[in-house]
Amino acid sequence: MTPEEKYIQLLEKVNQQLDIWKNPYGLMVTILTLLVAFLAIVVAYAIFRQGADYNKKLENDRKAYKKEIDRYLSEQSKIIKHNQLIADKLNKKTDKIIKEYKNKLEDSSAKQKKKIEETIARLEVERIKVDKDNFEAISVSPNCSVGLDSLLGKKFCTCSYCKYGFYVNDNTYTSSFAKSVTCPKCGSLNTI
């Protein structure tokens, strides 16, 4: 066999293989291979985009949540500071009244002394209640289920300005003095 014959045989084999590509089965396999490759690329891009969008949304949600928590905590700290000022004023007034009653105690009769001592004892108990209870922030929640909130020791309040109804966590407060709570809708102070 001469080199030319070998070359001709090689060309014939290549032509036969090229003819196989035109075969319907070969064409179908080629098309399916290209389709699967294209779909894999599309799916990979979609997953990448969805992951990037999800991470962006998650980051935005975290920022919004942090902003809301910071706002809530600053609002609660303002309420606590306000309550501390009220407690200090009440304690000063109570101390002044107790001092006046103790001065009257020396100049009074036995029957009056008993009444004055009872009054002083009640004032001292009330002062202890103010010291213990008035430093906590009152938590408020919007008007939701009446039955559940009343069972949990929450008191229903209505804002005097916007008439919005909300519940106040009332189980920590036992003092007979009035207490202020901020409306969650309009921000006005209400006395409970």
Write the pLDDT tens digit of every residue in 11-54.
Answer: 888 877 766 656 777 778 889 999 999 999 999 999 988 888 88
Closest CA to 154 of 138, 178, 134: 138
Q: How far is the CA of 102 from the CAs of 87, 97, 120, 123, 161, in angstroms?
A: 22, 9, 8, 12, 43
Q: How many domains does the chain have?
A: 1
Asked whether residue 167 is domain-assigned, the answer is: yes
Asked whether residue 32 is domain-assigned, the answer is: no
In this prediction, residue 118 has a pLDDT band, given cuts at 50, 70 and 90, of confident
pLDDT of 149 reads 45
Contact 192, 155 (CB under 8 A): yes
Closest CA to 137 of 184, 169, 106: 169
Q: Over 90: is that where the pLDDT of 185 sits? A: no
Asked whether residue 102 is domain-assigned, the answer is: no
Asked whether residue 175 is domain-assigned, the answer is: yes
Q: What is the pLDDT averaged over residues 152-160?
A: 73
What are 181's strand-pairing partners?
190
Asked whether residue 158 is domain-assigned, the answer is: yes
Contact 171, 147 (CB under 8 A): no
Residue 159, CB-side half-sphere exposure with 13 Å CA sphere = 18
**3-state secondary structure (DSSP) of residue 76:** helix
Asked whether residue 178 is domain-assigned, the answer is: yes
**3-state secondary structure (DSSP) of residue 157:** strand
In this prediction, residue 165 has a pLDDT band, given cuts at 50, 70 and 90, of confident
Asked whether residue 5 is domain-assigned, the answer is: no
Q: What is the pLDDT averaged over residues 167-173?
A: 60
Closest CA to 140 of 132, 131, 149: 149
**3-state secondary structure (DSSP) of residue 165:** strand
What are 113's strand-pairing partners?
none
- Give just the sign of the alpha carbon dihedral 169, 171, 172, 177: positive
Asked whether residue 69 is domain-assigned, the answer is: no
Within its chain, how far is the Cα of 70 from the centroid?
Answer: 10
Structural domain boundaries, residue 182: 138-192
